[in-house]
Amino acid sequence: MITLGEYIIKNQAEYPSASGELSSLLSSIRRAAKVVNREINRAGLVTDIIGGSAGSDNIQGEAQQKLDVFANDVFKAALEARGEVCGIASEEEDYFVGFDDERQCNAKYIVLMDPLDGSSNIDVNVSVGTIFSIYRRVSEPGQPVTIDDFLQPGVNQIAAGYVVYGSSTMLVYTTGNGVHGFTYDPTLGSFCLSHENIRIPEQGHIYSINEGNYIRFPEGVKQYLKFCQEKDDATRRPYTSRYIGSLVSDFHRNMLKGGIYIYPSGTNSPNGKLRLLYECNPLAFMAEQAGGKATDGFRRIMEIKPTELHQRTPYFIGSCNMVDKAGEMMIEHSAE
């Protein structure tokens, strides 16, 4: 049985120029995930953690849950402590956070994260997750980080991953050499290799979308949903609809079983709900490394140049054939 720590060390030769810093950074994320996992598992017993709103909103105007704030603080502290990160940006922070002591100003990496995706599901014991993305800084080492360090396109990512806190807790990541999953064994206190070199099936039979917003969907999305629901024995349609409402959980299932996740424009969020930097880019990197695709309906997600930290985008991600088919219908009906 190979632990995550052992696997990271074994494969750190993938990045010889990192001199071990990237491995140490991933270890910091691993430790923070164990702390958050512990609190999520205790949430129903601890009244100062469970109970919904923390009494504040994030910059997107969404009510923060107490565990949102807790997870953000845990990951931020873990990343600051080791000295490999010069700054972070988080869905729960209004602006990026620079770590400004001498060692950290010379660090090579910045991290963007959604500390607790799907946190509104905690009170009903539904899976939630953490998403992270790692870039090499573009500003001069030795100087404080700048906004340009964080507004990089997804193609510049050197690592990305997520943790899904569910019936079992898994940490899944890529450094650009495949996607690998590790399941947490609480008896050992370690993440152990359980899914090496994950591949998304080219064609799945699951679609994940909040159909309650159907009336406002673009015509291309409506037509794709009709396609998914039509009976056709040759293509095993109709497909199965599965929507958890936690992006990490929906993506994780579709990556293992094959499927497509869609959060389009035309909902209560005109530009889509999901954040390009904290959610879409890291999962797009993982999808592509696993043989899948991610677009905004027209463009490859990882080629979009960000213009703001909390930028939103429509999102189509999953099995190649399904994303391609949805894209064809988006283009066909784009003028309607």
Task: For 99-114, write each residue's pLDDT tens digit.
Answer: 988 888 899 999 999 9
Report, as an integer, the average pLDDT of 143-156.
96
Which residues, other chains included, contact 234 with Cβ-Cβ below 8 Å and sequence gap of 6+? none
Alpha-helical segments (H) within 3-155: 4-10, 21-42, 66-82, 102-105, 147-150
pLDDT of residue 204: 96
pLDDT (0 to 100) of residue 59:
55
What whole-number distance in Å separates Cα of residue 163 and Cα of residue 182?
Answer: 9
pLDDT tier for residue 42 given thresholds of 50, 70 and 90: confident
Q: Write out the two tokens for 66.
A: 């107490």
pLDDT per position as a tens digit, 122-137: 777 788 999 999 999 9
CA distance 248 to 242: 13
Q: Which residues are annotated as a binding site for substrate?
A: 117-120, 210, 243, 273
DSSP 241-310: E---S-HHHHHHHHHHH--EEEE-SSSSSTT-SSBIIIIIHHHHHHHHHTT-EEESSSSBGGG----STT
pTM here?
0.93
Return binding residues for Mg(2+). 91, 114, 116-117, 279
Comparing 35-49, 129-143, 168-182, the range with the smallest average pLDDT is 35-49
List binding-site positions.
91, 114, 116-120, 210, 243, 273, 279
Burial 66-93, CB ≥16 within 10 A → b, else e:
bbbbbbbebbbebbbebbbbbbbbbbbb
Percent residues over pLDDT 90 in the chain: 71
**3-state class (DSSP) for residue 157:** strand
The predicted pLDDT at position 51 comes to: 45
pLDDT by residue (tens digit) across 216-238? 999 999 999 999 999 999 999 99
pLDDT at 103: 82
Residue 179 structure tokens: 């996607």
